[in-house]
Amino acid sequence: MTQSIPPQSQDHQPGVERLLKPRAEHIRPDYRGSDKLKGRRALITGGDSGIGRAVALHFAREGADVAILYLEEEEDARETIRLAEAEGVRALAIEGDVANSMVCNDAVAHVVEVFGGLDIVVNNAGVQYVSTDLTDISDETWQRHMDVNINGYFYITRAALPHLNRGSAIINTSSINAFAGNKALVAYTTTKAAEMGFTRALALQLAEKGIRVNAVAPGPIWTPLQPASWGPVDPQAVADMGKSTPMGRIGQPSEMGPAYVYLAAEDSSYVTGQTVHVNGGMIING
């Protein structure tokens, strides 16, 4: 958990898992599944790498069939599928951009066709572009944040909702930045705060239907998005990531997965509209 991270950069988002130095851990070898999600069917956006891969593997170890929607990193997606299938479940990879509503509609329809239904939706795909000056953010960059981080969550959830039943779960990946802010991530922070509003309002709307809606707010986690977003601006910032947290280190995706299992499973049957913070001890006010 305390491996040193050297300065590094990747030149394209969402980034490539296999280029991380050191490699990230997505599930601990000693994580014991107990059929918490046996027979369930999940769709995870951004599931090819990082937190999305961790969620897919934890769900698979708990017995769920998992489908991932990924943007373009086919090799990363194939590896996630290989690892999920090794857990003895069905796994499905779908390529497409969540910013396109038709892609989201088709992805959900394909999952339902292959798996025979859908029980868990994890909205996780996101982009993050660094800018220390608001006036440097182009219309295109601002809109890309909105299209992926907000619209994508809406499109996937809207498409999935007719297939969800009482006991289903929707889990949204937000961020510490929705609560603490980040002066170099104004556009990203704005979308992450919007995701929290989406989570809370939708939870109220769906409570009477028995569908729970919650969020996970990660702190700094070692995923390809870090060198792909911070690296081009300052490779040293990637190496220093997480050092300012009380725990003094960046987190691993493997430390995120169990939070999603909790929110997807019956263990959290009395939890909706809430946020699980996994951030190395950073104190949240509000």
Q: Is the pLDDT of residue 240 over 80?
A: yes
Residue 246, by phi and psi: left (phi above 0), alpha (psi -120 to 50) or beta? alpha
In the chain, the percentage of residues whose pLDDT exceeds 90 is 96
DSSP 15: -
Is the pTM above the cut of 0.85? yes
DSSP 72: S
**Cβ neighbours for 270, distance < 8 A, ≥ 6 positions apart:** none
What are the structural domains, with CATH classification, of the chain?
A: 34-278 (3.40.50.720)
Q: What's the whole-number mean pLDDT along residues 13-41?
A: 96
The catalytic residue positions are 188
Structure confidence by residue, pLDDT tens digits, 74-120: 999 999 999 999 999 999 999 999 999 999 999 999 999 999 999 99
